[in-house]
Amino acid sequence: MNIFQQLINGLSLGSIYALLALGYTMVYGIIKLINFAHGEIYMIGAFVGYYVTNQFRLSLIPTLLISMTICAVLGVLIEFLAYRPLRKSTRIAALITAIGVSFLIQSLMIYFIGADTRPFPQIIENTNYDLKLFTISKIQLIILSTSIFLMILLQMIVRHTKMGKAMRAVSVDPDAAQLMGINVNHTISFTFAIGSSLAAAGGVLIGLYYNSIDPMMGVAPGLKAFIAAVFGGIGIIPGAALGGFVIGIIETLVSALGFTAYRDAVVYAILIIVLLVKPSGLLGKNVKEKV
């Protein structure tokens, strides 16, 4: 078994999970909500990419930008319509709404465009680069570099911009942040916009990678990315990225060892072990909740 090759396979898959996990973790960090509709935004991102490339024959970067913009707007819209009215309600109410939104988007997509799998337009001529130790395809390189670029960009936004500062402030204490003159609603909308655009990028990249998209494609990766976020410590941005990569690599290695059929079970089992040993996740700090 070529371990380096398997690592590359795992990293390509993992970077998509990481992109998705970032959205989960940011939204959770700021309003303590598990946004279950996140996987569906990823799916919509892939479909926007599909229509944009088919209709206008655009290359990858404009496709990514358009898809990310549309999904950012969609994310803000979902927050505004579905989650904002429930912000003062119990967490479980918001959670169930999120699950509802997820099913709603799936059903609407199936109703309007059908449940069929579609081939994603191949806008990149794929070639393999043989690097002796392993071969890496052009698309794998694009996936890795795009996601790492986006992650660094996100880290810059959170660390060094005013909006980033506001996000961090709101995540610590929304009421205090409001008293200091931060517009909490804008900050939350901004968080949804960024998270959704990352998911959209993941969707387009996965469409390109596998060449097959369908309205149910967001379900499994959405759940895996959620696991990745919890795994790395939900609410912690580097944790989500790390969790994504780790889950991708674990999945690939489990398949490589010949247990493909039990792949998901192994991922869940590892999650449970991590939660038992370190409930706050890999990068999480143990914070005692105040009563």
Which residue's CB is nearer to other proteins, number 17 or number 192? 17
Could you tell me the smallest distance in angstroms from the CB atom of residue 35 to other proteins?
12
Of residues 58-87, those binding other proteins (CB under 8 A): none
Alpha-carbon distance of 189 to 230, in angstroms, equals 22
Cα three-residue angle 162-202-61, rounded to 5 degrees: 80
**Binder among 34, 166, 199, 283 for other proteins (CB under 8 A):** 34
**Binder among 1, 179, 277, 291 for other proteins (CB under 8 A):** 1
89 belongs to the binding site for other proteins (CB under 8 A): no
Q: Are 104 and 81 in contact (CB under 8 A)?
A: no
**Binder among 59, 89, 117, 183 for other proteins (CB under 8 A):** 117
| Stretch near other proteins under the rule CB under 8 A, chosen from 61-69, 115-123, 156-164, 195-203 | 115-123
161 belongs to the binding site for other proteins (CB under 8 A): no
Alpha-carbon distance of 48 to 58, in angstroms, equals 12
What is the total count of residues that contact other proteins (CB under 8 A)?
49
Could you tell me the smallest distance in angstroms from the CB atom of residue 167 to other proteins?
20
**Binder among 175, 258, 277, 285 for other proteins (CB under 8 A):** 258
Residue-by-residue DSSP string for 88-121: TS-HHHHHHHHHHHHHHHHHHHHHHH-S--BPPP
Q: Quick one: angle between helices 184-210 and 162-172, nearest 10?
A: 110
- The residue whose two tokens read 């696991």 is 227
Alpha-carbon distance of 42 to 67, in angstroms, equals 10
Which residue's CB is nearer to other proteins, number 206 or number 237? 206
Residue type, 44: I
| Stretch near other proteins under the rule CB under 8 A, chosen from 52-60, 76-84, 170-178, 253-261 | 253-261
Cα three-residue angle 192-194-197, rounded to 5 degrees: 105
| Stretch near other proteins under the rule CB under 8 A, chosen from 17-25, 40-48, 197-205, 211-219 | 211-219
144 belongs to the binding site for other proteins (CB under 8 A): no
**Dihedral of the alpha carbons of 27, 29, 33, 39, in degrees to the nearest 10:** 40
Q: Are 278 and 284 in contact (CB under 8 A)?
A: yes
Q: Quick one: angle between helices 184-210 and 60-78, nearest 10?
A: 140
**Binder among 30, 52, 177, 234 for other proteins (CB under 8 A):** 234
Q: Where on the chain is the footprint of other proteins (CB under 8 A)?
A: 1-2, 5-6, 9-10, 12-13, 34, 91-92, 95, 99, 110, 114-119, 122, 126, 128, 135, 137, 206, 210-212, 217, 220, 223, 226, 230, 234, 251-256, 258, 260-261, 263, 275, 279-280, 289
